[in-house]
Amino acid sequence: MELAVKNIQGGETGRTVQLPADFFEITPNDHAIYLDVKQYLANQRQGTHKTKERGEVAFSTRKIKKQKGTGGARAGSIKAPNFRKGGTVFGPRPRDYRFKLNKKLKLLARKSALTYKARESKIVVVEDIHLEVPKTKSYLNILKNLSLDNVKTLFVSAELNKNLYLSARNLPKSHVTMFSALNTYDILNADVLVLSESAVAKFSSQNQELS
């Protein structure tokens, strides 16, 4: 797939780039996408949830009423879960939600997500952006020039671009990442994928960078 390279003013540079078929024209695997997104979301969970069981509730341990003769059920402790403020039965405990996926499956998922974006014509290639200082207004003007200020975008740079990242950090619909940190969830979560010209070159020359 061949795309025109746009400048930061939103115009044509006269240059074109070829998106490698190995990444943007494969047969998508929906199940691989599902597993990769599931793993990404699971890895974001802190797993610090906890409720107190009857052995942890701060109440007296005395027997609250005699065993027989009350006409009601037996009750040995006010910590029992059937009493108000008693312990929780089978409540959540701290746990780790992370699980492992093979590198090849994760790479297939990312390629599938990129292919879907290419099929939907949701990819824009722009010349490399170099901001002298972090400034949100400067980055927002670039998005406006590209008519992308009202959509959710994911900008992919070849290397870490600190000024660009800091400039986009306060924009709720804009996310900036570098090529090596690209993941399936971010690709699918964005309405439009914005690739820098040097990032496209990374796809072409380093097929193993995403693995």
CATH number for the domain that contains residue 141: 3.40.1370.10
In this structure, the answer to whether residues 67 and 124 fall within a common structural domain is: no
CA distance linking residue 167 with residue 134, whole number of Å: 5
Structural domain total, the chain:
2
Q: Look over the chain and give the mean of its residue pLDDT values, rounded to a whole number.
A: 91
- Would residue 210 count as lying in a domain? no
The pLDDT assigned to 206 comes to 60
- Domain boundary at 67, 91, 115, which? 91
Q: Is the pTM of this model over 0.95?
A: no
pLDDT digits (tens, 9 = 90+) for 58-111: 999 899 989 999 999 999 899 999 999 999 999 999 999 999 999 999 999 999
Does residue 15 carry a pLDDT above 60? yes
Q: Which parts of the chain fold into alpha helices (H)?
A: 21-24, 30-44, 103-119, 136-145, 162-168, 184-189, 197-205
Are residues 78 and 156 located together in one domain of the fold?
no
pLDDT digit string, tens, across residues 176-192: 999 999 999 999 999 99
Q: Which domain holds residue 86?
A: 51-91
Length of the chain equals 211
167 and 64, same structural domain?
A: no
Do 155 and 74 share a structural domain? no
